[in-house]
């Protein structure tokens, strides 16, 4: 574990430090013989360039920052987001990049996301969970640092997200298929744009299909968790004058709460009210009744996000407003099985 540097290696081999450096970085032309000698020696002593020096000099860190949690108290525990993160991680690792969580202090100084990134010379940023009007996130997106999002949608930001149009459409078509046209929706918090968007889309699709849209059967939750779903569904069912026979829910997690609320009110899923979730987290198939849902292609979202971000980093592209939609898939399970 003696400290090796390009200097010690150069001395060992009787050559110059810059030769070592160039061979390591595949720059310049050298005899195959010399190259082999250097590479072999490096491998045998287990040398690896000191990142800090390399970064200081060349301004590339091979590091991607992750903005993970915001006001919304979703943590790493959330299966959907952690799934995306996992897939993203797998992809960037292949290319030699490394992930780090963006926090707002270095050592003991508080600082903004942007400053943090500049300071750490982060190559790029993944926004997994953010909020579209957080000033610090905006500042970051408007900067020269390549950003990609799998959540927030904004100007000057490329967002990779499920095709929500298709998701809503599939849900409604499925409802019609099983003969349910009194459709309601329990959406996630409207602070997230795509929940808002899904409401609009639902209205649109129902119109197209000639199904009446009743405002009283639409509700949005306060939070992202089970309890939020439970509470919203209870409220909806208690207040409505025309009980829906099908509920579209913003996420599987919420859907579990919704189902239990329905059951606690004495109704049966799916006989009285069918329920379809969104996400297809692993527990969807383990619950009783198992949950029909719109499967988001988490792996693909993470993978595409990684590809796009690395592309921006490597080609030095600037952030631009863009939306990439990843197809979703209808998964029919017991919560919408009628007969």
Partner DNA sequence: TTGTATGCGTTATCAC
Partner DNA sequence: GTGATAACGCATACAA
Both structure tokens of 84: 């995306």
Q: Which of 30, 197, 267, 283 binds a second copy (CB under 8 A)?
A: 283
Quote the CA–CA distance of 295 and 130 in Å, as a whole number. 22
Number of neighbours of residue 273 by Cβ within 10 angstroms = 25
The 10 Å CB-count burial string (b at 16+, else e) for 305-335 is: bbbbbbebbeeeeebeeeeeebebebbebbb
Interacting span for DNA (CB under 7 A) from 6-14, 67-75, 110-118, 249-257: 6-14
Beta strands in the chain (DSSP E): 63-67, 98-101, 105-106, 109-110, 124-127, 147-149, 158-162, 183-187, 218-220, 246-249, 274-279, 292-295, 322-326, 329-331
Q: How many residues bind DNA (CB under 7 A)?
A: 30
- Is the CB of 50 or the CB of 76 nearer to DNA? 50
Both structure tokens of 140: 């970051």
Closest by alpha carbon to 160, among 338, 302, 33, 18? 302
Does 2 bind a second copy (CB under 8 A)? Our answer is no
Does 17 bind DNA (CB under 7 A)? Our answer is yes
Quote the CA–CA distance of 140 and 82 in Å, as a whole number. 22
Site for a second copy in 44-73 (CB under 8 A): 46, 48-53, 55-56, 61-63
- Is the CB of 53 or the CB of 103 nearer to DNA? 53
Does 18 bind DNA (CB under 7 A)? Our answer is yes
**Backbone torsions φ then ψ of 156, nearest 5 degrees:** 55, 35
Closest by alpha carbon to 222, among 187, 262, 184? 187
The alpha carbon of residue 323 and the mean position of all alpha carbons in its chain are separated, in whole angstroms, by: 14
Site for a second copy in 181-220 (CB under 8 A): none
Interacting span for DNA (CB under 7 A) from 15-23, 170-178, 208-216, 265-273: 15-23
Could you tell me if residue 226 is left (phi over 0), alpha (psi between -120 and 50 degrees) or otherwise beta? alpha
Does 115 bind DNA (CB under 7 A)? Our answer is no
Residue 70 half-sphere exposure, CB side, CA atoms within 13 Å? 22
Interacting span for a second copy (CB under 8 A) from 9-17, 90-98, 155-163, 185-193: 90-98
For residue 28, the partner it binds in DNA, a second copy, none, with Cβ less than 5 to 8 A by kind, is DNA
For residue 268, the partner it binds in a second copy, DNA, none, with Cβ less than 5 to 8 A by kind, is none
Q: Which of 6, 152, 206, 273 binds DNA (CB under 7 A)?
A: 6
Does 297 bind a second copy (CB under 8 A)? Our answer is no
Does 121 bind a second copy (CB under 8 A)? Our answer is yes
Quote the CA–CA distance of 185 and 286 in Å, as a whole number. 23
Site for a second copy in 234-263 (CB under 8 A): 256-257, 260
- Is the CB of 9 or the CB of 157 nearer to DNA? 9
Does 86 bind DNA (CB under 7 A)? Our answer is no
Q: Which of 22, 41, 203, 325 binds DNA (CB under 7 A)?
A: 22
Quote the CA–CA distance of 159 and 168 in Å, as a whole number. 19
- Report the interface residues with DNA, using CB under 7 A: 3-7, 14-22, 24-25, 27-31, 34, 47, 49-50, 53-54, 56-58
- Report the interface residues with a second copy, using CB under 8 A: 1, 46, 48-53, 55-56, 61-63, 75-77, 79, 82-83, 85-86, 89, 93, 96, 98-101, 103, 105-109, 111-112, 115-116, 118-121, 143, 225-226, 256-257, 260, 282-283, 285-288
């Amino acid at each position: 574990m003696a400290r090796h540097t390009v200097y010690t290696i150069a001395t060992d081999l009787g050559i110059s430090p810059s030769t070592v450096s160039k061979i390591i970085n595949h720059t310049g032309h050298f005899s195959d013989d010399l190259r082999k000698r250097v590479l072999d020696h490096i491998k045998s002593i287990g040398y690896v360039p000191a990142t800090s020096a390399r970064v200081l000099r060349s301004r590339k860190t091979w590091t991607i920052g992750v903005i993970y949690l915001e006001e919304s108290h979703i943590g790493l525990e959330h299966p959907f987001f952690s799934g995306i993160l996992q897939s993203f991680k797998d992809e960037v690792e292949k290319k030699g990049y490394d992930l780090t969580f963006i926090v707002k202090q270095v050592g003991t100084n508080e600082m903004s996301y942007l400053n943090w990134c500049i300071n750490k010379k982060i190559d790029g940023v993944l926004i997994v969970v953010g909020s579209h009007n957080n000033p610090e996130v905006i500042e970051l997106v408007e900067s020269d640092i390549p950003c990609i999002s799998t959540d927030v949608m904004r100007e000057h930001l490329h967002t990779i997200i499920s095709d929500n149009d298709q998701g809503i459409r599939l849900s409604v078509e499925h409802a019609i298929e099983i003969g349910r046209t009194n459709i309601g929706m329990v959406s996630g918090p409207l602070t997230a744009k795509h929940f808002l968007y899904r409401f609009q889309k639902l209205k649109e699709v129902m119109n197209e299909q000639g199904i009446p849209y009743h405002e009283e059967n639409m509700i949005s939750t306060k939070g992202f968790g089970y309890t939020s779903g439970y509470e919203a569904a209870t409220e909806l069912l208690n207040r409505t004058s025309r009980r829906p026979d099908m509920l579209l829910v913003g996420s599987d997690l919420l859907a579990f709460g919704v189902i239990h609320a329905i059951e606690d009110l004495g109704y049966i899923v799916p006989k009285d009210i069918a329920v379809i979730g969104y996400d297809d987290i692993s527990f969807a198939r383990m619950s009783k009744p198992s949950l029909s849902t719109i499967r988001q292609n988490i792996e693909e979202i993470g993978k595409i996000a990684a590809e796009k971000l690395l592309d921006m980093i490597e080609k030095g592209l600037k952030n631009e407003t863009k939306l990439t939609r990843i197809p979703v898939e209808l998964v029919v399970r017991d919560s919408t099985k009628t007969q």
